[in-house]
Amino acid sequence: SPPAPPAPPKVDTQGIEGGYLKGLRNDLDGYKQYPTGRQASLERPSGEVVVWLLVDRQGRVLD
């Protein structure tokens, strides 16, 4: 019988995903804006932001 085909190479999916998320966070950091000025100092606004993205298989943000 013919020899078994070689096993496919192992892919570090956690490393790839971690690198992608790090890059995405860095890109998003460029859009963050924090309140400034006296009114912001007095009011001390706070909150939580939720962002939803549609991403294709190549990692491009579609929407």
DSSP track, the chain: -PPPPPPPPP--HHHHHHHHHHHHHHHHHTT-----SHHHHHH-----------B-TTS-B--
The C-alpha atoms of residue 32 and residue 1 are separated, in whole angstroms, by 62
Cα(first)–Cα(last) distance of the chain, in Å? 52
pLDDT of 22 reads: 92
Quick: pLDDT tens for 39-50: 888 888 888 888
Domain ranges of the chain: 13-43
pLDDT of 2 reads: 87
Residue count of the chain, please give it. 63
Quick: pLDDT tens for 6-35: 988 888 888 988 998 898 889 888 888 878
Q: Is the overall model pTM greater than 0.85, yes or no?
A: no
Q: Is the pLDDT of residue 1 over 80?
A: no
The amino acid that residue 48 corresponds to is: E
